[in-house]
Amino acid sequence: MKMSATSAMLLALTLAADVGFSEDQPKPPNAKRVFTNDDLNKYGETYGREAVQVQPTTPATSAASKTALDAPKESGKPGVQAKSTADQERARWAGRLKDADKAVQKAKMDQAKYASALEKFEQKRREAQTDFQKTLTQNQAADSQKNLLRATEQVKQAEETKAKLLSEAAQKGFKPEDLQGAPESAQAQQ
């Protein structure tokens, strides 16, 4: 009888395990539909263009769609095309100048940050009482001094880059005042 009770329990566990495994089997996932540009265009024609807005995802498609969008704006008049090219060139130089200004400002902020950290550590070093505190603050001040020198060099390089950019723009016929006042809409095209 003892053997049959053990066998019965084993049988019950086996059946329970089979039922448990059969419920845990994953169901095949629903197939996801991938829409192509042709599908989107078809739906756009059916439901109207306002419902469908295709945005380019890669630089190659971005450039292709940009030229396709700019084509209807341009007329056959050479003066209009030359003016838009000049505006685009000015916007490009204005964008480069804006980036150079941001680099100079960031370098100056870093320089100010390291200068204040150096002052703070120098003050702590003067107030240090134990040898450990003196050594620690001396090392912190030395690190801050290195960072300050590096930041100062970065400010120099950023200002030199900006000056070089301004001279190149002047050679192309752009004044710094023209580049500072470039309209945002022209910069957004770039």
> Per-residue confidence of the chain (190 residues) as pLDDT tens digits?
456 777 777 777 777 766 655 555 566 667 777 778 777 777 776 665 554 454 544 444 444 444 444 444 444 555 556 667 878 888 888 888 889 999 999 999 999 999 999 999 999 999 999 999 999 999 999 999 999 999 999 999 999 998 998 888 888 887 777 676 544 444 444 4
**0.85 surpassed by pTM:** no
DSSP class of 49:
G
With contact defined as beta carbons under 8 Å apart, do 128 and 137 qualify?
yes
Amino acid 78 reads P
Task: Report which of 92, 91, 93 is spatially closest to residue 164, judged by C-alpha positions.
Answer: 93
With contact defined as beta carbons under 8 Å apart, do 73 and 67 qualify?
no
Query: From CA 171, how far away is CA 150, in angstroms rounded?
Result: 32
Provide long-range contacts, Cβ within 8 A and 24+ apart, for 138-144.
Answer: 144/114, 144/117, 144/118
